[in-house]
Amino acid sequence: MLNGRSGYGQNRSPLVTTRTQEAMATKPVSPRAAEPSSRASRYRAPALEKGLDVLELLAADKSPLNLSAISQRLGRSSGELFRMLQVLEFKGFITTAENGSGYILTNKLFALAMAQAPVRSLVETALPVMRKLTQDIGQSCHIAVASEDQIVVITRIERPGDLGFSVRIGYRREIARAASGLVLFAYQTDEVRRTWLKRCRIKGEAADAFVARADSVRERGHHEADSDFVRGIVDLSAPILRSDVAVAALTVPFVHSNPLVMEMAQAVEHVRAAARQISNDIVHGDLP
């Protein structure tokens, strides 16, 4: 798993899924429909809804899906989805997998999300600090944010030299199974925590255990654990905070290479210091 500029999680699409939907009326509203009721009036755009359903399905699945599979999963006929898939492919949101087994997402939505001011400002603010961190400790690092029930990597800096281990931009993983996810969860309000647990479908004893781990992380100020995805990697992660709430997590997949630039115990302190500096910079900068 360790090679020149390697990354992991190649089976997941590098995409931040952001479902933004404007209310639009496609035909006049009848007087009856305009009357006040116990339910808020709804403006429907069936074609848009179908397209968004397709994008969300492909984002959530680990493998390419053909027309038949998409039709079955969404409970829609192949006829009503065929033209929708053609349009999404023409607009560059989806493409056919290299082996021809079905459709997969492109990077287009990820690129659109990255163009948003808060994400762009966070990345621009963090990059100089991340570069110095990699030079000081001789390890790669990345920043992840929460996206629905997953974390997504929005930027990275690879370690100096010819060999290194890094996580590719756009890598996604369930919040409950990622070091970054645990750190992000640890520094949320109780209300947000409850929302995330529900969104991640964690309940009962599993939820209690996850919350306890998060509380422990918050007490320590960072998370340090063997990667359960890649042997030999220890994830060192610290929160990037704004008003005591984690907006992102700075993580170093620590590799015990030979020779080491810095021992892991020292590297942890550098990771924490870098996260504090980024936190301070975004508070005093122009990040919305």
Where along the chain do its domains lie?
Answer: 31-111, 116-284
In this predicted model, what pLDDT tens digit does every residue of 185-239 receive, in sequence order?
999 999 999 999 998 999 999 999 999 999 999 999 999 999 887 888 999 999 9
Task: Check residue 285 and give its pLDDT.
Answer: 54
What pLDDT is attached to residue 284?
Answer: 60
Task: List pLDDT tens digits, range 103-120.
Answer: 887 766 666 665 555 666
Identify the pLDDT of residue 8: 40
Share of the chain above pLDDT 90, in %: 41
Q: Residue 104 belongs to what H/E stretch? A: strand 103-105
Are 260 and 138 within 8 A, CB to CB?
A: yes
Per residue in 44-91, pLDDT tens?
778 888 888 888 888 777 688 999 999 988 988 888 888 888 888 888
Least confident of 2-6, 163-167, 223-227: 2-6
Alpha helices in 2-116 (DSSP H): 31-34, 46-60, 67-74, 78-90, 108-114
CA angle 124, 126, 131 (to 5 degrees): 105
Helix residue ranges per DSSP H, the chain? 31-34, 46-60, 67-74, 78-90, 108-114, 117-137, 179-186, 190-199, 204-220, 264-284
Which amino acid is residue 201, in one-letter code?
R
Mean pLDDT, range 256-278, rounded to an integer:
93
> d(Cα 173, Cα 195) in Å, to the nearest integer?
18
Class of domain 116-284: alpha beta
Q: What is the reported pLDDT for 1? A: 40
CATH architecture of the domain covering 31-111: Orthogonal Bundle (1.10)
In the DSSP assignment, the letter for residue 176 is G
